[in-house]
Amino acid sequence: MQVLAHMKRGTRWLALGALVAAFWAFQSGQQDPKLDTTDPHLLTTAQYLYHFAKDNDWPEESKQGPFVIGVKDNPALVRIFAENYGTPPIGDQPLRLEELEDEPAVEGMHIFYTDAQGDELQADLKRIGGSPTLVMTRGLEALSRGVTVNLIVHEGLLRYELNQQDADRRGVLVGNRITSWAVTR
């Protein structure tokens, strides 16, 4: 308090505010794991979402209205994407980033990202059906289940596998850059 007594009145309030903020930041309260932004791959995942939107081509009937990227049960990814990319247009379409929960409505969605696996992933894929939606996830056997893009750690980096047959079935024309960046296991 001796230090605070020698400070000017305005500076004291700033110092007090900084102390309160530091106390709040370091308290041991539990945080919702869905909001955890410490995953070192979140920014890379957001970059992939942006490049998949920008560098692929969808069927003509999908080029009406907003370009929709849906992210299921991962608000930290939504926040990282929004902070780093905002909502730039994709071609002539305004970008709409949607945070999805539980059983999302997927109609009109261009990209659907989920961390779901097993039965939950199968239920999501059933809802999406054969629509022109690029489905992206992180699952060991995701490509064999009908996912278009599967994120994996390859040589210490977050990379992705591409299911070209699924993209063709959905009518999504994968860009050359996206194809060349894909890895295989």
pLDDT digit of tens for each residue in the chain (185 aa)? 444 444 454 444 344 344 333 333 444 444 444 445 567 889 999 999 999 999 999 999 999 999 999 999 999 999 999 999 988 999 999 999 999 987 777 788 999 999 999 999 999 999 999 999 999 999 878 888 889 999 999 888 999 999 999 999 999 999 999 999 999 88
Show me where the domains of the chain are located: 2-28, 34-181
- Residue recorded with tokens 């960046």: 181
Task: State residue 143's pLDDT score.
Answer: 85
Which region, left, alpha or beta, applies to residue 174 given φ > 0 means left and ψ of -120 to 50 means alpha?
beta
Long-range CB pairs of 128-131, under 8 A, 24+ apart, other chains included: 130/169, 130/170, 131/106, 131/107, 131/170
Task: State residue 144's pLDDT score.
Answer: 83
Q: What is the pTM of this model?
A: 0.78
Task: State residue 168's pLDDT score.
Answer: 97
Q: How are beta strands 149-154 and 157-162 bridged, if at all?
A: antiparallel
Read off φ and ψ for residue 17, nearest 5 degrees: -60, -40
Q: Does domain 34-181 fall into CATH 3.40.50?
A: yes
